[in-house]
Amino acid sequence: MTDLDLPALGLGTSQNDDPEECAETVQTALDLGYRHVDTAQMYDNEAAVGEGIRRADVDREDVVVATKVHPDNLAYDDAKRTARESLDRLGLESVDLLYVHWPTSAYDPEETLRAMDELREEGVCDHVGLSNFTPDLLDEARELLESPVVAHQVECHPLFPQRELREYAVEHDHTLVGYSPLGRGEALDDPLLTEIAEKHDTSTAAVCLAWAFAQEALVPIPKATGDHVRANFEAQRLELDDEDLDRIAEYDVTERLIDPDSAAWNQ
């Protein structure tokens, strides 16, 4: 087993690009008990995330901080340079987890992954992750990397459960980190999920997260601001029963919501 212990819930920060709101959200989340914060070069908020970490009454070593190298920066020299620029923006000496964000644009398996290995060796990151890969690309990356792949981040929610990639994560001993675990809001109006929420006298968002908590090797990272930060954290108290989980597993709705033409699965 890898030595990166990802908490059951993380804070996503995609689209949270207002500096003060982002910093306040990160601080609030950490003070509530979150211990995993996810950002990316693409999100244009690394500086604000770093500010929120500094403001929080939490020791840096207790927080898993993850960022991702922009697809346009995945050439060897650019990856090496911009990963350090991410540290400067975050105000950190290292990140716990550094991802290849999308295997597109400047991604070159041998050169990009060599850069990731070297960044880990040089202490820029403690661990290497991948994001938005297909099983075939995961196989290739695992062969090329000297570093273990500790996390693979993809869209994952009850309406797009990523069964194959969850099974792959279990088989190859890494965590599947699920972004958009509420289905970008689409899941919140789903009839089945709403029915299960009513049964438990809770919100549909809590049901989506409780589904994720019940899966092996899956960690959701919902993005949120304001009261939703606390509500998502409190969803950890909800436990779905076997009937609920079976009904979701048998559901025939499969909807990928984040699907750029350049994505690896569209090639």
Catalytic residues: 43
Rounded Cα–Cα distance for residues 210 and 15 (Å)? 24
Rounded Cα–Cα distance for residues 232 and 27 (Å)? 15
Rounded Cα–Cα distance for residues 223 and 25 (Å)? 10
Q: Tokens representing 18?
A: 């207002």
For 61, other C-beta atoms within 10 Å of its C-beta total 7
Q: Which residues of 235-264 are buried (b: 16+ CB within 10 A; e: fewer)?
A: beebebeeebbebbeeeebeeeeeeeeeee
Give the torsion through C-alpha atoms of 208, 211, 217, 223, to 10 deg. 10
Q: Tokens representing 41?
A: 């070069």
